[in-house]
């Protein structure tokens, strides 16, 4: 799949933002006043920024509101509703924490639950796509949820929670890579099954056309194995290994900030691979393997 910058930013920033909102809703950290304001501002900037970035991948961004109309069948529509509900509930909770020093914990718990559901809906946008075997499995939502939880704990300054969550997210990341590398072959989808021409070996007599088109631009992207291996190493080291190492050192705010920055850089590399290595079965029609 074409790794569009808008979708990479969306999945990275919104995961971090809603993860942080979940921890804030659970009272971690339990600060009030201007300190709480800073945490909520960061969470809303990440979550809101990610959602805004996602609209730039739409063919008609001005029609983004129509995403709310298909909630019965579309995970994207469900994500739109749950994200709006999360931001609304957590906004009320933030007002109590910041301006009234009030602990409206019921709102916090509700907002945290909605944040988790929002991340799950985002993951299901991809996990429900049968045409992309690398995504079409239960590891995809687990990957999104563990990564959001780890990033949220890191941003919330919950060192003792963030460290094991980062290790868990790293394990899930490796599992999804290992499982995904053979997903297309295991799906049994071939040019023969795609065209319905069963019996014998089916091959294309000539390319469907000599130019490019939307499907080739968006659904067929080839990344070299050497580059993928290098980016996986970068994602593991920056996204998980280095932050864990920094968190194990005696606590220091500058080290905490460095852990957050390296984590974000690593996850950006991971997200690029998430899309660039996702083989859409339509590529078989165009002779891609």
The pLDDT of residue 5 is 86
Mean pLDDT confidence for 259-287: 86
Closest CA to 162 of 176, 146, 144, 174: 146
pTM for the model: 0.89
Contacts of 265 (CB under 8 A, 6+ apart): 238, 239
- The band of 221, judged by pLDDT with boundaries at 50, 70 and 90, is low
The pLDDT of residue 18 is 97
Integer Cα distance of 275 and 271 in angstroms: 7
Mean pLDDT confidence for 171-178: 96
Give Cα separations from 191 to 38, 194, 204 (angstroms). 54, 5, 8
Q: Supply the CATH number for residue 155's domain.
A: 1.20.1630.10
Give percent above pLDDT 70 in the chain. 85
Closest CA to 80 of 117, 126, 45: 117
Residue span of the structural domain in which 253 resides: 5-285
Contacts of 61 (CB under 8 A, 6+ apart): 55
How many independent structural domains does the chain possess? 1
């Amino acid at each position: 799949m074409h790794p569009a910058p808008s979708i990479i930013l969306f999945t990275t920033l919104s995961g971090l933002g809603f993860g942080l909102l979940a921890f804030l809703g659970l009272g971690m950290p339990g600060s009030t006043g201007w300190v709480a304001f800073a945490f909520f501002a960061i969470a809303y900037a990440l979550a809101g920024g990610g959602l805004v970035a996602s609209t730039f991948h739409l063919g008609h961004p001005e029609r983004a509101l129509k995403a709310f109309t298909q909630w019965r069948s579309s995970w994207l529509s469900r994500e739109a509703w749950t994200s709006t509900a999360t931001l609304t509930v957590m906004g009320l909770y933030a007002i109590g924490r910041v301006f009234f020093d009030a602990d409206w914990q019921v709102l916090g718990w509700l907002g945290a639950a909605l944040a988790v559901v929002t991340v799950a809906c985002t993951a299901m946008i991809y996990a429900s796509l049968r045409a992309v075997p690398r995504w079409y499995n239960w590891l995809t939502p687990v990957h999104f949820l563990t990564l959001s939880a780890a990033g949220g704990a890191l941003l919330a300054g919950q060192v003792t929670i963030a460290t094991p969550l980062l290790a868990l997210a790293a394990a899930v990341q490796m599992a999804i890579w290992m499982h995904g590398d053979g997903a297309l072959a295991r799906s049994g989808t071939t040019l023969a099954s795609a065209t319905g021409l069963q019996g014998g070996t089916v091959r294309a007599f000539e390319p469907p056309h000599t130019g490019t088109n939307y499907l080739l631009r968006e659904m067929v992207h080839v990344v070299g194995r050497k580059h993928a291996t290098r980016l996986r190493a970068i994602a593991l080291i920056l996204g998980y290994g280095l932050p864990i190492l920094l968190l194990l050192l005696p606590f220091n705010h500058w080290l905490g900030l460095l852990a957050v920055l390296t984590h974000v850089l690593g996850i950006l590399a991971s997200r690029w691979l998430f899309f660039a290595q996702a083989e859409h079965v339509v590529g078989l029609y165009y002779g891609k393997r």
